[in-house]
Chains A and B, each alone.
Chain A
């Protein structure tokens, strides 16, 4: 149980385009999902907290107009990187917390984004 999927697993896009990443909890409902970014050899950086039915809460320094988060249902959150630039190239990972869990996060397999 507690499986989280992400799609796509990797994507290459041109500078200026937008990319949507989906995060799904497959066998549980998640009122809260988190979006992270990780650059090579660096630690995970929390970007935002996504709550079902409400606006996402962004961490300091993360542009909410550039990283659009939608948590449309209890099993799906999406992150859209708008007008992507090469510096947005990174490993994007989502996590979800089952409603019955004591804050145990389950991570998706991540999406590797390369902007050319």
Chain B
């Protein structure tokens, strides 16, 4: 089983739709969680950290479920500009060092 798994999609949604992605992780000792977005042929950009209590930033809401070991990203009122690949990143705690583990990414296509 991969350490961090994401549905690759693509998710093809109309403008204005609400879409949700999940990301599961296998290491129960994981400490920090993030969502990044990556546009084609560009570097990933930090979208938001994921906190235990859940957090919201405008149209984006992130949730963490430690019991089931997954994080989620909800995008409301999708815009054309939201089309990108969304990567979840998990930092396991391992012997005092920390190595980020990326999911393969979920592709989102928002169409008019």
> A43's contact among B32, B41, B91, B103, by CB below 8 Å, is which?
B103
With A44-B44, A103-B32, A110-B43 in contact, do A34 and B49 touch (Cβ < 8 Å)? no
Kindly list chain A residues whose C-beta atoms are within 8 Å of the C-beta of B87.
Answer: 43-44
User: A91 at interface (Cβ–Cβ under 8 A)?
Assistant: yes
Interface size range of chain A in the complex: 10 to 19
With A34-B100, A43-B104 in contact, do A104 and B46 touch (Cβ < 8 Å)? yes
Number of B residues near A (Cβ < 8 Å) is 22
Contact B91 A109 (CB under 8 A): no
Complex Cα gap A110–B91 (Å)? 22
Closest to B51 in A: A102
Complex Cα gap A107–B91 (Å)? 16
User: B67 at interface (Cβ–Cβ under 8 A)?
Assistant: no
Kindly list chain B residues whose C-beta atoms are within 8 Å of the C-beta of A77.
Answer: none
Closest to A4 in B: B43
Complex Cα gap A49–B91 (Å)? 13
With A43-B104, A43-B105, A102-B32 in contact, do A107 and B45 touch (Cβ < 8 Å)? yes
Contact with B along A89-109 (1 / 0, CB 8 A): 001010000000011111111
User: B102 at interface (Cβ–Cβ under 8 A)?
Assistant: yes
Q: Give residues in B with beta carbon < 8 Å to A.
A: 31-32, 34, 41-46, 49, 87, 89, 91, 97-105
